Amino acid sequence: MSTSVLFMSMSLDGYIAGPNDDVGNPGGDGFDRLHEWYGDFSRPAGELGELWDDWNTFGAILVGRRTVEQVDHWGGDNHGVPIFVPSHRPPGPSVANYPLVTYVTDGIASAMAQAKAAAGDRIVLVHGAYTAQRALEVGVLDELQIHLIPVLFGGGRRMFDVLPSRIELEIVRVIDTPDASHIRYRVRR
């Protein structure tokens, strides 16, 4: 069965986007700083290479509406895998041109179940703060891969702004590099 994993770069003070995050400025001011650790987008050696392999072997994506609409659904294709968008509203007309994109209107649990079924034995890549928080709330997010960047943003959009209650995590793996601490957590149930 598939595992759902939130992959997110985050500042030390908990921000995943800078100020002025909107359609015309996806990720907000200073957003690129959170992703400099990627380097030239080629596979690094060692443990970071294993993390890179995880990142690139997903079988489906579960992504929040705000996040996916800011990037126009990646043009309808992100590595050729199905993209599931939990939403209370039906999609705009442009989504009809993107056969890999499915809006799911009957809740986050249903969206995750569909994404896991589509992913098979590969992971479901989760994107979006609100979506991750809702997935944690209903117990359908399995792991968090946080790329903790040594910077304090001081403003923007926080990753864990609103949670319903305390959620216990177990550290699975830590990879420290000069550019980021990559911490993998499993959600304790």
Q: What is the pLDDT of residues 139-165, one digit of tens each?
A: 999 999 999 999 999 999 999 988 878
Mean pLDDT of 3-26: 92
Q: Of 16, 8, 49, give the one whose Cα is nearest residue 146.
A: 8
CB environment 111-125: b (16+ within 10 A), e (fewer): bbebbbebbeeebbb
| Residue 182 backbone dihedrals phi, psi, to 5 degrees | -100, 110
pTM equals: 0.92
Structure tokens, 97: 């041109």
Q: Of 39, 4, 28, 24, give the one whose Cα is nearest residue 158.
A: 28
Q: What is the pLDDT of residues 59-73, one digit of tens each?
A: 999 999 998 988 888
Mean pLDDT of 49-65: 88
Q: What is the pLDDT of residue 144?
A: 97
Q: Place 52 in a pLDDT band, splitting at 50, 70 and 90.
A: confident
What domains lie within the chain, and their CATH numbers?
4-187 (3.40.430.10)
Long-range contacts (CB closer than 8 Å, 24 or more residues apart) made by 88-95? 89/65
